[in-house]
Structure 1
C-alpha cells in the first residue's frame, strides 16, 4: 500500500513540475500589408481636331546631295542640295539650338501631348540615294543629329543607291528607316494588287533588313488622296508624310507635312522657309 501511495505522490510531483516550467514566449509577427500596386492612368489619344491645333514641328525633306551645274534643269536644282550647302545648313541648325526628333517622339507629342526638346526639327530623306548615307548621315553625326530615311526598295543595291548594309548601318546608328513604296509610283493611281506591291512588301523587306518595325511611310511626290489612307492604315503604318500641301482634317497623322529643301535656297533662305512654313498650326 505504501509503495502504491509513494508512486502516486512521485507522479503528481513530476506532473506539477512539468506544468510549472517557464513557457517559451514566441513574439507575434505583425502582418505587413503588401504595398498597393500603382496603376498609371491610361493616356487618352487626342482626336483629329486636337492634333491639328498643335504647333507643327518643322520637317525638312532632302533628296539629292551632290553638285550640279548652273545650266542644270529647274527640277534638278529644286531636288538637289550641294554638299557644302548641306553641311552649312546642318551647322546652322545646330548653332541655332535645334534638336532633331524622330517619328516616335512626334507621334507621342501629337497623340499624347508628350514634351519635345526645345526647338525640335525632323530631317528626312527620300529615294535611297547613296550620298544620303555617305554625306548626309556623316554631316549630321557631327552634331548628334538623327534622321529618317525613306527607302524605295526597288533601288536597294543599285549603283548610286544605298545597299542593304548601309540601310542596316543607319538603323543601327539610331536613324529611322521608313518606306517609300517599291518603285515610286504615286498612290493616287493604285488599283488591285498595287497596294500589296507598293505598301506591304516594301515594309516587310525593310523590316527584314533592319530587324525592326517600319511604321512610317512617305508618299511619292507627296501626293495622296483619302482613298489611300485606309490602305496605309491596313498595312500597319502609324504615320504617313506628305509635302507642303494641306493636311487631312480626319486623319492628320497620315498627312504629316514636310517641306523640300531646294538647292536654290541659301542657308538663310532655308531658315526663313522653316519659320514661315511651320510658325503656327493650320
Structure 2
C-alpha cells in the first residue's frame, strides 16, 4: 500500500476554537473571472444536487453493506480545505499548513475541471458506498472545514463558474461571528446546491466526549444547521481528523449516517464512519494535486 499523505497535527493547531478565530480571515480572494466548462453531471444524467433524488427516503433507512464490501470499493478522492486566503506576515508555520492562496486554489479547481473530474456531494458518495449507485467517471469531493467566511466568497467566484459543488463542514459556535459565515451565507450555499454538514459545536476532540457532550457537540448543532437550511444534516467531519472506534455508535445514535476523518486507515468494521480525506496545502500546484490524489486514494 502506498504511503498516504497527512499533514502533521502540530500542537499550535490543536488549540481548539480560539486559534480558529485568530486564523479565519475576512480577506477576500481575487475574482475568478468567467471560465466555462461542460457540466459533467448533466452530460451523464447525474444531478448536481443529489438531495433531489429519492428525497423522501431517509438515508438512515438504507441498509449498509458489510465492511468487507465497502472496503473493497474504489475510494473516491476527498479534498479537505480550511482557509482560502493570501498569506500574511503574521501567519505561523503551522497556520500556513491550512491556508491556500486564492490563486492557487483557483489553479487546483481548474485542473480538476480540465482533467474531467466531476464534483460530488456526501449524499452521492454515501449512496455509492451503500447502494453501489453510479457516480461520474472521475468523481471528486471538495470539502471545507470550520466555516470561515472566505469559503463563501470562493464558492461564488471560483467554484460557481466551474460548475463545481462542495460540502461545508460547519462549526456552529462560530456562525455569525466575525470572519466566519453568517446564517444567510450558509443558507445560500445550501440553496445553490452545495452541502452543509456538521463539524461539532466548538471543534473539540470527539474522542473526549462523554454524557451531555453528545447533545452539546452533535445533536443541538445538527438541529441548528437543519433549521438554517431546511434540509437534513446527516454527515460529519471529525475535528483534527481524530476518531476512535468507541465514538462511532454515539454518532449514529445522534443521526449521523457517515463521518469523514483525514488520511489514516479506515476502521475495519465501520469504514462508512471513517471515510478518508487529504488536506490540500497551498504549495501544491495543479499537477501536484492530481499526483497526490492518485497516490493517496489507493488501498485502505
> Which TM-score bucket, shorter chain as reference?
0.7 to 0.9
Contact 1:65 1:136 in 2 (8 A): no
- Rounded to whole Å, the distance in 2 between the matches of 1:262 and 1:70 is 17
Which residue pairs with 2:146 in the alignment? Answer: 127
Deviation at 1:267, TM superposition (A): 2.3
Give the structure with higher Rg (CA): 1
Which residue pairs with 2:46 in the alignment? Answer: none
- Rounded to whole Å, the distance in 1 between the matches of 2:120 and 2:78 is 10
Which residue pairs with 1:114 in the alignment? Answer: 133
Structure 1 stretches lacking a partner, 5+ long: 1-42
- Rounded to whole Å, the distance in 2 between the matches of 1:186 and 1:272 is 31
- Rounded to whole Å, the distance in 1 between the matches of 2:220 and 2:90 is 39
Name the structure, 1 or 2, with higher relative contact order (CA <8 Å, separation 6+).
2
Deviation at 1:135, TM superposition (A): 1.6
- Per the normalisation by structure 1, the TM-score is 0.82
Which residue pairs with 2:207 in the alignment? Answer: 188
Say if 1:71 and 1:171 are closer, same or farther in 2 by CA, change over 3 A: closer
Q: Which runs of 4+ in 1 moved over 4 A?
A: none
Instruction: Kindly report which structure 2 residues correspond to 1:125-274, keeping only aligned pairs within 5 A, or say none.
Output: 125-274=144-293
Structure 2 stretches lacking a partner, 5+ long: 1-61
Contact 1:128 1:150 in 2 (8 A): yes
- Rounded to whole Å, the distance in 2 between the matches of 1:257 and 1:183 is 22
- Per the normalisation by structure 2, the TM-score is 0.77
SS at match of 2:245: coil
Say if 1:157 and 1:45 are closer, same or farther in 2 by CA, change over 3 A: closer
Say if 1:97 and 1:195 are closer, same or farther in 2 by CA, change over 3 A: same
Say if 1:87 and 1:273 are closer, same or farther in 2 by CA, change over 3 A: same
Instruction: Kindly report which structure 2 residues correspond to 1:47-62, keeping only aligned pairs within 5 A, or say none.
Output: 47-62=66-81
RMSD over aligned Cα, in angstroms? 1.4
